[in-house]
Structures are given as C-alpha cells and as structure tokens.
Structure 1
Amino acid sequence: MIQTIEVNIADILSRLETKIDKLENKIDYLTNEVNDVKINVAKLDEKLNSLDNRLEEKTNSLETSLNDKFSGLDKRLGNLEFIFRSIAGGIIIALILAAARYLFPNMTL
C-alpha cells in the first residue's frame, strides 16, 4: 500500500509565489503603519515642544508680574513702617512730656 503523490512543481511554485506576495503585502502594510506612527509621534513631539514653550513663556510672564507686584508691596510696607515708627515716636514723646508735666507741675519747659 504505497501511495505515490504526484504534484506538479508549477503548482507548488505558484502557491509559494502567492504566499510570498501576501507576505510582501502585509510587510508593506505594516511598514506604512509604522511610518504613520512615526509621523504621528513627530507631530505629538512638536505639539509637546510648543506647549512646553508656551508654558515657559507663561511662567516667565507670571514670575515677572509677581516680582513687580511684590516689589511694589515691599515699598508700600516700608513706607507704612516709617509712618508707624514716626507716630509711635510722637506718642512716646507726648507721654514723656505728659508724665514730666504731671510729676513736675511748676516746671516750665
């Protein structure tokens, strides 16, 4: 019971060529998909760089604005401190003079 298998070589080659063509098509498709992914990654990278630059600009602008406002507040607080020191000094001098007038009523200043 030996069976002989007869196959035409042309049929085998035809089938192999068909399979190779299918594999080449799949490889081409995957190559195109990979290229599309690379393009999308490049676009995302550009967008991230753009966002990073915008964020840096906004941060610098905010920092400059806050520094200006804080320096203005510092000047105002310095002025208020001077005013309060002057008022406190005047009150202390007035209290000393009032105490001197009370303790020494006959003395003229």
Structure 2
Amino acid sequence: MSVNQPLTDSEARNIFINGAEDFYSLSANPQFSNVAELFDAWLTEHDRQLLAKTEAEAGKRISSELKLEHASDAHARTEPSRAYIQGCKAARSLLEDAIRDMTQEQGTL
C-alpha cells in the first residue's frame, strides 16, 4: 500500500484494523515513518467532521433545557444543572448516531 498525504479512508481503515505499529514496523519499513502522523491527522479530521454534524443539534437541546430551567427557577439549585446533564446525554447520543451513520455509509471497520 502506498502512503498518500492525507490518508484515504481506506488506508486509515486498514491501519486501524491492522494496528499501525504492528502492520508498519518503522524499523523494517522506513518509508512508512510518517504513517503515525498521517493517521493522527486523519483521526483529527474525522473527529472534526463528527463534531460538526452534531454540534448544532446538541446546542439546540442544551438551549431548550436551559430555558426550561430558568422558567422553573431550577437554575438556582446547587446540584449539577439538568441542562448540563441532558446536554451531555444528547451530545453522546448524537455522536453515537453520527458514528453509526458514518460506518454504515463507509462500510464497517
């Protein structure tokens, strides 16, 4: 496999499945010395895309929860904010959905 810059999804998937260190022994294959950096860059971009897909919806849900808290004076409580807790749950759910959608679109790892 030739290493392009940036990695293609297929190349990154192959590295993920096989393990970058095991599959590309850097001492045996110096031509792959930049694989770890390329894979990190691919993961960073992949994460950025996932967050971009979920950020707006999570913000709407958190905003709705905050409005409910302020309307009911619940924001004066000392325990963790219901909006914060619900926002965390919503963000997790949205990320899980986005990951599931992306893996279905691209084929499973």
- Same fold judged by TM-score > 0.5? no
**Could you state the TM-score of these two structures normalised by the residue count of structure 1?**
0.32
Task: Name which one, 1 or 2, has greater alpha-carbon Rg.
Answer: 1
More helix by share: 1
If asked which structure has higher relative contact order (CA below 8 Å, sep 6+), I would say 2
